[in-house]
Structure 1
Amino acid sequence: MYAILDIETTGGKYNEEGITEIAIYRFDGHKVVDQFSSLVNPEKPIQPFVVNLTGINNEMLRHAPKFYEVAKRIIEITDGCIMVAHNALFDNRILTTEFDRLGYQYEKETLCTVELAKKLIPNMPSYSLGKLVRSLGIPLSDRHRAQGDAKATVALFKMLLAKDTSKEIITETLRKDPKRQLTPKLLDIIENTPSETGVYYMHNEEGKVIYIGKSRNIKKRLTQHFTNDNRKSKRIQLEVKSVTFEKTGNELIALLKESEEIKQNKPVYNRGLRQTLFTHQLTSIVDEKGYINLTIEKADGRKKAITTFSNYQQAKTSLFKITEENQLCQKLTGLYDGGKACFNYTIKECYGACVGKEAVEEYNNRVQAFLERYSYENQNMLIIDRGREIEERSVILIENGIYKGYGFYNLNYQINNPEILKSIINPMQNNRDAQHIIQNYLRKNKVLKTVNLSADAIK
C-alpha cells in the first residue's frame, strides 16, 4: 500500500517552513482507495514568491485547520503505507518536522518518483513534475497546488510500476513492508486479487519473484494454483508468501508482459515458458517456373518466417484459410500433392498456376499482396485495445516491423503526438516470441482497431 502525497509550504529557512496545503492519495498499486486534502494554517506568513507560485495567500489560510487538527487523519490514511512523492526527501522531511513539533515520532519508508523516473524513463528533457507529466501525456490541473500535483503523481507512479519490468519497485516494497512478510493463508491471498485480466507475480519470503503467470481471471487462476495437488503446485504453495499483480485490460498485453518478464526475471518455477512458444513457421520460395510457393516448415531461427504457429495443425488450418481467401493454388501452398492439377482447379476455384495456365506475374501479384498485408515486417502501426479502466486504452507500437513495446493512455488525451507516443510506450524486446504472440493473437482475436502510421509520423 502506498501513500502518494504532495505538500505546499510557506517557504523560508530550512526546517522552519510550515505546511500550507497537503493532499494524500492512498493507492493499492492499482487504484486509489482513500484520499485526503486540506489547506493548513501554518501560523506563520507565506513568502511572497510562494504566493505567486501557488496562489495560496495568508488570507486563504486564516480559517484553515492547524496542523495538529489534521495530524490524526494524516496518520490514519498513511498507516501501513510506503510514502511516495515527487522529491520524496523534501515531503518526508516536512512531515517529520511537523510531527516532531507535536512530540510524535512519524517514520515512513519512501519512494521518490523523480529517482524512479530517471531510472525507468531515461533521457527526458526535464524531471520536474510539470514538464515530466506533460511529456508523458498525463493530464495535470492546478499545478503547484497539492491536490493537482498529488493526483498527477498517482498517474506517474502507476506508469512507473508498469514500466518496471524487472519488478524492482514491488520487490523493494515487499522487503520494506513488515506486514507483507507474515505468512498469509492462501485464501487470504486469493481474496485480495481481482477477477480481471492481467499478469500475477508470486513472491517468496524475501520478496523475490518465484513464478509469473497471466490470466483473463487472476483470482480464478490463483485458485487453481493453490488447489492443484501436482508436485509443482505443492512446492509453490509451500514457498509463496505474497502475490502481486498488474491489470492489463486485455490478453494480448498480458501475454507479451508474461513472456518478456519471465525471460528477464527467470523465476524458478517458470522453466517451461523460457523456451520458444512456436514450433512451425510459414515461409516462401520461388519454384523453377517463377511462381512464389508458400510452405510450412519447422521453426528455424536461421530462416526468415512470414509468420509462426504454435503447432503444425494450427499452421495447416491457417494455410487453408490463406489459400482460400487469396485465391491461391493448393499445390503451390503445399496442401495438395496428387496429380498435375490441384483439386481446386478441377472445380474451377484455381486459375491454373499448378499446370502453368495462369501467368506467373498475375499469380505472384496475389501472393505478394497477401505477404504485404499479412506480415508486419515493414509496417508502422498501432494496435489499440481495451485498457485497465473504462476511460483508458492500451497501445502497442510496431515501428518498421519491429515490436517496440506497449503503453496505456487516457481517452481524453491524443496519442498522435510522436513524442508523447514514444514516452508512454514501455520498451520491450523484439524477439521472435513477441512477434509470434502478436501475429497469433491478431489471427484469432479482434482488437478495437489498428492504426497504420507513416514512417515519418513516429520518428
Structure 2
Amino acid sequence: MYAILDIETTGGKYNEEGITEIAIYKFDGHEIVDQFISLINPERPIQPFVSNLTGINNEMLRNAPKFYEVAKRIVEITTDAIIVAHNASFDYRILKTEFSRLGFEFERESLCTVELSRKLIPDQPSYSLGKLVRSLGIPMTDRHRANGDALATVKLFKLLLAKDVEKKIVTNTVRFKPKRQIDDKLLKLIDSVPSETGVYYMHDAEGKIIYIGKSRNIKKRLNQHFTSDNRKSKRIQEEITHVTFEITGSELLALLKENEEIKLHKPKFNRALRRTRFDQALYQFTDEKGYINLKTARIDLRKKPITIFTNRQQAKSFMFKWSEEYQLCQKLMGLDTGKKNCFNYTIKQCYGACISEESPAEYNERVMELIHHHSFKNETMVLIDRGREVDERGVVLIENGILQGFGYFTLNYQINNIEILRSIITPMSHNRDAQHIIQSYIRKNKKLKIIKPTSNE
C-alpha cells in the first residue's frame, strides 16, 4: 500500500516551515482506495514568493484547521503504507517536523518519484514534476497546489510501476514491509508484559537494568524494540534476559517515573536521556515603554524561565499559537523583526502594542494571563489523571512550584487535604525535565483536572 502525497508550505528557514496544504491519496498499486485533502493553518505567515507561486495566502488559512487537528487523520491514512512523493525527502521531512512539534515520532518508509524516474525514464531534459509529466503526456491541473501535484504524482507512479519490468519497486516495497522474525526468547518476553500504560525495565543476565522506557502500550513498544534493526536495538536484543514493568495508568505518571528512574539508574542504553532533553526556555522582560516582552532562548541556569520546550521549533510553534490565543503582538514575542507594526496588526489580530496604540497596562494583563497559565512558579496544585483501575485516579502533587511526587487515590476526600496527599504520594525529585514534562502535558491535555488543595496548617 502506498500513500502518495504532496505538501505546500510557508517557506522560510530550514525546519521552521509550516504546512499550508496537504493532499494524500492511498493507492494499492492499482487504484486509489482513500484520500485526504485539506488546507492547514500553519500558525505563521507565508513567505510572499510562496503565495505568488501557490496562490495560497494568509487570509485563506485563517479558518483552516491547524496541524494538530488533522494529525490523527494523516496517521490513519499513512499507517501500513509507504510514503510516495516527488522529492520525497522534502515532504517526509516536513511531516516529521510537524509531528515532532506535537511530540509524536512519525516513522514511515518512503519512495521518491524523482529517483525512480531517473532510473526508469532516463535522459529526460527535466525531472521537475510539471515538466516531467508534461513531457510524458500526463494531464495536470492546479500546479503548485497539493491536490493537483499529488494527483499528477499518482499518475506518474502508475506509469513507473508499468515501466518497472524487473519489478524493482515492488521488490523493494515487499522488502520494506516484513517485520524481522523474533526468536523464542524475545517472544516470551513480549508475552510477559501487558498492553497497558506504564514504565518497563530491561535487565541483562546479571539482573542489571540496561534500558528503561515508557509507553501507552508496553507490549506493542517491546515488539517494536525486538523487530527493529538499528544498532542499539540489536545490542539490546542480544543482552536482554528479563523484563519487569510498572503500570501507571496515566501517561503523565509514566513520563515522570521514566525520567526519575533513568536519572537514578543511568542504564547504558539510555545515554541520551540521562542528560536533560529540553534546551529552550520562555523568558520575560519589560521594555523601556513598559510592555512585557516574551522571548525564547537557550536555557540559562542563572535565570528562572516561565516554561521550557524540547527544541527551538517547538518553542516557536507555541509562540505563534499563543500570539493568536492571547491576541499578543508578534513583535513583542520576538516573532516579527520588522521595523514597523507586526504582521498580526495588519490582519487585525494585534491591538497595536508594537506601535504603542494599545496601552502597556491593557497589553500586559493578557501577557500575565499567559504567564500565569503556563507557569506553576510558587503555585500549589494537584493534577488528577487516569489511574491503574477504573475506580482509581492518579495524582501529582506540586507545592510552591516544586514537584513533590505522585500517587493514587480512590476517595475524593484524600485529594482535598494536602496533609493526606503528602502521605499517599511517592516522593520524586524536582528537576528541569520533570518541570517540562508537567508543563508540556498540561499544554497538550486541556481536559486534565487541576485543583488547589486545602491545608489544616
CA separation of 1:189 and 1:432: change in aligned 2, threshold 3 A: same
* Contact 1:393–1:411 (Cα < 8 Å) also in 2: no
AA partner of residue 375 (structure 1): S
Using the aligned pairs only, state the percent identity: 63
Aligned match of 2:166: none
Q: Does 1:193 align with 2:193?
A: yes
What is the CA-CA distance between 1:279 and the residue it aligns to? 2.1
* Contact 1:385–1:447 (Cα < 8 Å) also in 2: no
Please give the residue correspondences for 1:301-320 in structure 2 after superposition, counting only pairs within 5 Å: 301-320=301-320
Q: Which runs of 5+ in 1 are unaligned?
A: 1-182
What is the CA-CA distance between 1:300 and the residue it aligns to? 2.2
* Contact 1:184–1:242 (Cα < 8 Å) also in 2: no
Aligned match of 2:394: 394
Q: Does 1:256 align with 2:237?
A: no
* Contact 2:384–2:448 (Cα < 8 Å) also in 1: yes
Q: Distance in 1 between matches of 2:430 and 2:447?
A: 21
SS of corresponding position for 2:377: coil
CA separation of 1:352 and 1:447: change in aligned 2, threshold 3 A: closer
Q: Does 1:340 align with 2:340?
A: yes
Please give the residue correspondences for 1:60-459 in structure 2 after superposition, counting only pairs within 5 Å: 185-411=185-411, 414-453=414-453, 457=455
CA separation of 1:311 and 1:412: change in aligned 2, threshold 3 A: closer
Q: Distance in 2 between matches of 1:418 and 1:292?
A: 34
Q: Residues 15-58 of structure 1, C-alpha deviation per residue, up to 9 Å, x if partnerless?
A: xxxxxxxxxxxxxxxxxxxxxxxxxxxxxxxxxxxxxxxxxxxx
What is the CA-CA distance between 1:382 and the residue it aligns to? 0.6
What is the CA-CA distance between 1:298 and the residue it aligns to? 1.6
Q: Distance in 1 between matches of 2:312 and 2:247?
A: 32
* Contact 1:386–1:448 (Cα < 8 Å) also in 2: no
What is the CA-CA distance between 1:407 and the residue it aligns to? 0.4
* Contact 2:351–2:357 (Cα < 8 Å) also in 1: yes
CA separation of 1:448 and 1:337: change in aligned 2, threshold 3 A: closer
Q: Distance in 1 between matches of 2:392 and 2:284?
A: 40
SS of corresponding position for 1:394: strand
**What is the Cα-based RMSD across aligned positions, in Å?**
1.8
CA separation of 1:423 and 1:447: change in aligned 2, threshold 3 A: farther
Q: Provide TM-score, normalisation by structure 2.
A: 0.58
Q: Residues 335-387 of structure 1, C-alpha deviation per residue, up to 9 Å, x if partnerless?
A: 11113111222333322211122222222222122212221112111100110
Q: Provide TM-score, normalisation by structure 1.
A: 0.57
SS of corresponding position for 2:450: strand
SS of corresponding position for 2:278: coil
Q: Residues 293-342 of structure 1, C-alpha deviation per residue, up to 9 Å, x if partnerless?
A: 00111222222211111111211111112112222111111111113111
Q: Residues 373-409 of structure 1, C-alpha deviation per residue, up to 9 Å, x if partnerless?
A: 2211121111001101111100001111111111011
Q: Residues 238-268 of structure 1, C-alpha deviation per residue, up to 9 Å, x if partnerless?
A: 2111100001101111111001100001111
CA separation of 1:307 and 1:450: change in aligned 2, threshold 3 A: same
Q: Distance in 1 between matches of 2:194 and 2:353?
A: 55
Q: Distance in 1 between matches of 2:444 and 2:456?
A: 28
AA partner of residue 242 (structure 2): S
Q: Distance in 1 between matches of 2:348 and 2:267?
A: 55
Paired residues, what number? Answer: 275
SS of corresponding position for 2:398: strand
Say which is worse superposed, 415-424 or 258-267, in terms of deviation.
Answer: 415-424
Aligned match of 2:128: none
Q: Which runs of 5+ in 2 are unaligned?
A: 1-182
Q: Distance in 1 between matches of 2:245 and 2:447?
A: 23
Q: Distance in 1 between matches of 2:395 and 2:354?
A: 43
AA partner of residue 301 (structure 2): G
Q: Distance in 2 between matches of 1:418 and 1:319?
A: 34
Q: Which has the larger radius of gyration?
A: 1
AA partner of residue 387 (structure 1): G
Q: Distance in 1 between matches of 2:297 and 2:325?
A: 21
CA separation of 1:348 and 1:364: change in aligned 2, threshold 3 A: same
AA partner of residue 203 (structure 1): H
